[in-house]
Amino acid sequence: MRTLYELTGAYKELYEMETGEDGLSEEAWIDTMTGLEAELNEKAENVAIVYKQFVSDAEAMKNEELHLAARRHTIENKADRLKAYLQNMLTAAGKNKIEGSKAKISITKGRESVVITDAEKLIAYPDVWKPYDFSEKNISKTVVSELLTAGVEVKGAELVRKPGITIK
């Protein structure tokens, strides 16, 4: 069976052929054209069917990706809640470290992070703002942290150390 490319070329060649004394008889030309047209139509339809299958497969994969992402998100949330639960229970029990045969758990000091308590009070500190927008999302917490670490009293922000948990 010829390829779609070959069929297209043959169809074009036959279409441009003249009928009559030097070329094909009109009846032969019509028979050949009809045969080529049927073969071309069948081949084109088969290509279209494969195309539709690819589109269908891609759509099914896309739906499965969304489903898997939702499941992954659910499992990640369960893991985070379990980790927080473990941290709360160990902190309440006064335990900082547990070394088992299958897991090692330790409560860490955590690092200090900036907590914005009142963004309006920070307007007095122009260095902490990113240009032209005085909204809380445009506060440079790095600059605030540097100021607080250097001992400067910054009203509207504070450094807070939250303990963390490491599970290995």
At 1-45, the pLDDT tens digits run 788 778 777 777 776 676 555 566 777 777 777 777 888 788 889
165: left (phi over 0), alpha (psi -120 to 50) or beta: beta
b vs e for 129-148, b when ≥16 Cβ sit within 10 Å of the residue's Cβ? beeeeeeeeebeeebbbebb
pLDDT at 11: 72
117 and 157 Cβ atoms separated by less than 8 Å: yes
157: left (phi over 0), alpha (psi -120 to 50) or beta: beta
At 106-152, the pLDDT tens digits run 999 888 888 888 887 877 777 777 776 667 778 888 888 888 888 88
Long-range contacts of 123-130 (CB under 8 A, 24+ apart): 124/155, 125/154, 128/154, 128/157
pLDDT at 115: 86
**In Å, what is the CA distance from 85 to each residue of 79, 90, 106?**
10, 9, 14
Closest CA to 109 of 159, 39, 59: 159
State the Cα angle at 92 between 91 and 96, rounded to 5°: 30
